Amino acid sequence: MKKFLLYGGLVLLLVPVQTTLLPHVAIWDIKPDLGLVVAALIGVLAGELEGLLVGLAIGWILNLYSAGDLWLNLVTTGGAGLFAGLLAKQVAEITPTILFGGLLVLSLAGGLVAVLSMTHATVDVSWWMMQFVVIPQACFDAVVGAGLLWLYERRLASPRFGMLDRYS
């Protein structure tokens, strides 16, 4: 119940942060996708099942405030939570650097799916989207995710999320 309330509050808080506050800190009109970052972090810290479920909830609710398709948000955000959880089990310890690389790959993959799903977009538009939206956003997501993990580590005074921490 405690977890449910925590995740519920987190999802509700994400909407105003993503739609109202983040546009103020956008660089070149690009803001990080906090939904994807949070889903991936939960996948890493709490496991793939929770990552998937929270990612799906975030994807669904953020989609209410986006012109995009519902399926795309569900698949990319839910998938980020799931695959972050699965990938986290393949490394001995999760450091901000490792998370940076993982988030970069996940965000690029999600962006690529989104661009490829734009049926009316010409090649020029798709290429422009990759260059000026998908790649910068992936870098932004990776930096924000790594920063959040670093802060989380410092807050808990825990050096690293090693295998023993996660599986004990």
Partner 1 sequence: MWMVNVRSSHGARRLALGMFALLLAALLLFPGQSQGLLEYFDGPVGQLVRLPLEAVSSIDQGISAMWQQYVSLQHVADENRLLRQEMDWLRGENNQLREAAAATQRLTSLLQFKEQALPAMVAAQVIGRDSSNRYKSVVLNKGESDGIQKDMGVITPAGVVGRVVKTTGATSVVLLLTDPNNAIAGLIQRTRDEGIVEGIPQGRAKLKYIPMLSAVKEGDRVVTSGLVGGFPRGLAIGTITTIDREEGALFQTAELVPEVDLNRVEEVLVIQATHGQSEETGVKPDPGAKVQP
Contact between 19 and partner 1 (CB under 8 A)?
yes
> Is residue 78 a contact partner of residue 62, using CB atoms and an 8 Å limit?
no
Contact between 112 and partner 1 (CB under 8 A)?
no
Buried-exposed string 52-90: b where 16+ CB fall within 10 A, e elsewhere: bbbbbbbbebbbeeeeeeeebbbbbbbbbbbbbbebbee
Q: Which of 37, 42, 98, 104 binds partner 1 (CB under 8 A)?
A: 42
Contact between 27 and partner 1 (CB under 8 A)?
no
Residue 100 vs 137, nearer CB to partner 1: 137
**Which listed range, 96-104, 121-129, 142-150, lies at the site for partner 1 (CB under 8 A)?**
121-129
Contact between 92 and partner 1 (CB under 8 A)?
no
The count of chain residues that interact with partner 1, using the rule CB under 8 A, is 67
Residue 33 is classified by DSSP as: -
Amino acid in the structure at residue 27: I
